[in-house]
Amino acid sequence: MDNKKIKLLIAVLLLITAAAVGVTVWALFFREQQTVVLTPDYAPQEEEINIEAIPGDSGEKMESEEGGGSVSLSYSNEATIDISDKKAYVYFANPGKSNQDMVLQIIISEEVILQSGTIVPGYKVSELDLLKDAEKMLSPGGYDGKFVVLYYSPESGEKAIVNTEIPIHITVRE
């Protein structure tokens, strides 16, 4: 093999090596990671920013045994997601008679696309922000999804042993 050919071979090998190193660096440091949402064991420190007081709610509490809990849910099983707004439009309320704070998740095909902040008793939400980049997983149309409602003690912030799932229908629009 003459010198020219050897040089060309070395150049090609160097190029392949550089490309492989580049791909490795990109995969390790720059590739977008899939967001994994873990259900918090303690209530989020921040109250949900989109909450509104329920008009005319007396705030009279349900009876509850010491160490137990009681919640009241008021909701619609239809939700709309606007991809361009990156928001979900829902009706979900934690009436004042509940004695637990709530966190609402919307799940489609086991992917959490939305997790609210704390919804305290006596308040409702009608719009919520999607999780970062969740809109990229969706396209216009109808989806079967679910609300997952988590309950937290207002005193300790600890998650209750009971949680609730509610199947819902979600319409996604652009």
Q: Which residues bind another protein (CB under 8 A)?
A: 62-77, 97, 160-167
Work out how close the CB of 109 gets to another protein at its nearest, in angstroms, rounded to a whole number. Answer: 17
Work out how close the CB of 46 gets to another protein at its nearest, in angstroms, rounded to a whole number. Answer: 24
Q: Which is nearer to another protein, 41 or 127 (CB)?
A: 41
* Residues 135 and 83 sit within 8 Å (Cβ to Cβ): yes
Q: Count CB-CB contacts under 10 A for residue 153.
A: 15
Inter-CA distances, 124 with 56, 75, 92, 138, 169, Å:
12, 9, 6, 25, 19
Q: Which is nearer to another protein, 55 or 167 (CB)?
A: 167
Q: Count CB-CB contacts under 10 A for residue 64.
A: 13
Work out how close the CB of 95 gets to another protein at its nearest, in angstroms, rounded to a whole number. Answer: 8
Q: Which is nearer to another protein, 22 or 68 (CB)?
A: 68
